[in-house]
Amino acid sequence: MKHFKTISEYCRGINISPPKHPHFDIRSFEENMATVYNEMPAFRHEFYAIAIKADGEGKVISGPFSDFPEGTSIFFNTPFQLISWDIIPNWRGYYIMFSQDFVSQSKILSQLLKLFPFLKMEQSIPFEIPSGQLPNILSIYKNIWEEYNGTANDKFQIIEAQVYLLLSLVKRLFEQQVDSKIAEMSLKAADLKLLSRYQTLIQTSFYPNTKLETFVNLHSTSYYAQKLSVHPNHLNAVVKGITGQTALNHIHNHLLALSKSYLAQTDWSVKEIAYSLHFDSPNNFSSFFKRNTGHTPIAYRQQVNL
């Protein structure tokens, strides 16, 4: 299965021209129809997309949804969601795509998932737009498209404001049309999935043979939040809401479990254990261990090996 980590990779993967910006893109479907692959088997990508389909034939499967509403519809692609399609190249409408990097540097959108929780649903629900709302939403997409393809130095300030306006209108329509109980269940499922992915990512990041980028900080929630395409505050809120512990507590708990295991079951030195767990120095490791257990690493090893 293909997995596109960047918008540029996605554009190459579906056979359209590259984006003008690495973390944001907007297209009309008409722009893509001449070259886009009409059929795409299931794939994933790591960014957000919000699309408006005004017209067009064929089948798109976004998460579990293949039966889109009749007429003009809004649909979402969230990070890591499965997507596939088999379409006729006559689609009309627009879509925007943006990465977590785009969200993180934006003052307006930095609390994206808190303000617009429908974007965190793995099973994001497509819905129909009332005909009276279509011109208004299309005009926002058009404004974003014109700014994006313009040359003004401050264009991304305008784009961020327009994206916020678009998402606010979509949120209103979403709340009007999507059953609240279904939405609530989907949001809870999304939170549980995020927690599971976070816990798994912590564990796999400390595997001995895991390849890591240079200068990553495995002790920081920001690293995992970036990998999971969410804001650190959102990750912490979800983790604490479900488990009662902060996201940082989960990292520390895993570090302590590994530390105790290495001290009890290996003859590695404190220095070797410290660097294998990505501490800056043996002293920092010893301070962390004593602060959380009341014992130095050496004292703990002597105690368990009595």
Residue spans per domain, the chain: 2-178, 179-306
Express as a percent the part of the chain with pLDDT over 70: 90
Q: Which two tokens stand for residue 291?
A: 């602060």
**pLDDT range class, residue 101, cuts 50, 70, 90:** confident
**pLDDT range class, residue 139, cuts 50, 70, 90:** very high
- Rounded Cα gap, residues 160 and 106, in angstroms: 7
CATH code that applies to domain 2-178 = 2.60.120
Q: Give pLDDT, residue 178.
A: 67
**pLDDT range class, residue 275, cuts 50, 70, 90:** very high
- Mean pLDDT (the chain) is 87
| pLDDT score of 215 more than 70 | yes
Summarize pLDDT for 16-74 with one digit per residue, the tens.
999 999 999 999 999 999 999 999 998 888 889 999 988 877 767 665 555 666 668 88
Q: Give pLDDT, residue 170.
A: 87
> What is the architecture, at CATH level 2, of domain 179-306?
Orthogonal Bundle (1.10)
Position with higher pLDDT, 283 vs 70: 283
Do 5 and 46 form a contact (C-beta atoms < 8 A)? yes
Q: Which residues are CB-contacts of 77 (< 8 A; sequence separation ≥ 6)?
A: 45, 48, 49, 51, 62, 83, 124
Q: Give pLDDT, residue 229.
A: 76
Do 28 and 148 form a contact (C-beta atoms < 8 A)? no
- Rounded Cα gap, residues 15 and 171, in angstroms: 31
DSSP state of 23: T
CA distances from 21 to 93, 119, 161 (A): 20, 22, 17
Q: Give pLDDT, residue 13.
A: 96
**pLDDT range class, residue 80, cuts 50, 70, 90:** confident
- Statement: the pTM of the whole predicted model exceeds 0.85: no
